Amino acid sequence: MALDSYVSLGRSGLKVSPFCLGAMNFGEDSGLGCSIEESEKILQAYVDGGGNFVDTANRYTNGHSEAILGDFLAARPGLRDRLVLATKFFGNLHLGDPNGGGASRKAIIGQLEDSLRRLRTDYVDLYWLHNYDWATPIEETLRTLDDLVTAGKIRYIGFSDTPAWFTAKAHTTALLRGWSPVVALQMEYSLLERTIEGELIPLAQDAGMGLLPWSPLKSGYLTGKYRRHLNAPADAKRAAILGDPSEAQFTVIERLVSVAEEAGTTPAAAALSWVQNRPGVTSTLIGPRTLAHLESHLTALDVRLTPAQIAALDDVSIPTLNFPHDLNHRVGAMLKYAGATVDGRPSSVYPPLLQSVNRY
């Protein structure tokens, strides 16, 4: 597989690369990002490799990430229209201004105008709601976004880091009102964070939304830099902020390292391959801070884990999901099919039924 093996973003007509280039680390304002020069090297290498999907947000490095992207595209006429350019709204960059962030009509329009100015473009291909705004009616948010689609300032709408119930309500409301629907979800997903398998992934699959996992390497925990036997991780600055993995996480990491060695690849590539090939996943977000990181991440596109290797990673990272997920899967079939085989899958029998069937 390659970056130019494009895939459809959910049920929309938009075609994107299987790895999306995340620009959260562009700019050194946060203290953890990369320089303008390194950012542009990463961008150029991604584009040269056939990549067409770049993702940022208004708040990344205090707006500098968007500005770096804007300057890069402005210096390369014609490139902007060949890319799927995505950014997000919600983050407030105006201290003390209660309307500077969130998902109200005033906030959305203000944030979009600022993003368009920094990106040096007149439209955004995919505009993400970056969080759940409990203080704004969803109808206000959706109608504003639909107006912006009609005006040609945004092309598609996505939700990031929103609860499943809220996302389902928003998508259904948009469909019933004839407004632009939610075409994609951006959620944290990795071997160390699988809880979206409970509700958000089934929602995306049922509604035809594209799913973009972020932090597929769990902030570097799954790169192989963090091991039980190491006195200190390779990236001390990042570790000082994030802390060390827990014992349970180290168990997953050690299994990943073992599988990667067996597959003849790196732990990072194995972890990325696992995520990209999960049910429902459209394109995986990678956020390199160096050109070397990007080159390493892209090798994952050619990694093919065996069923046994996938099962080994699945088993060690099984998540604990919210009620009633386990109940539904544990007793749902036995209550519904009463021992019958359906779609090739046999069901067991709920014990009391053995004594009471056809008694009344």
Q: Annotated active-site positions, please?
A: 60
Q: Which residue has the tokens 């990943």?
A: 256
Contacts of 65 (CB under 8 A, 6+ apart): 23, 24, 25, 26, 27, 33, 56, 57
The rounded Cα 13 to chain-centroid distance in angstroms is 19
Contact in structure between 211 and 284 (CB atoms under 8 Å): no
Beta bridge partners of 77: none
Mapped onto helix, strand or coil, the DSSP state of residue 245 is coil
d(CA 91, CA 329): 38
Helix axes 291-298, 267-276, angle to 10 degrees: 60
Residue 163: which H helix or E strand, with range?
none
* Helices (H), ranges, the chain: 36-48, 64-74, 105-119, 138-150, 164-177, 200-207, 236-242, 247-263, 267-276, 291-298, 307-316, 325-337, 351-356
Distance between alpha carbon 195 and the CA centroid of its chain, in Å? 13
Neighbours of 316 (CB within 10 A): 17
CA gap 297, 284 in Å, rounded: 11
Closest CA relative to residue 114, chosen from 62, 55, 37, 185: 62
Residue of 172, 173, 146, 169 lying closest to 157 (CA atoms): 146
Which DSSP category does 318 fall into? P
Element (DSSP H or E) covering residue 196? none
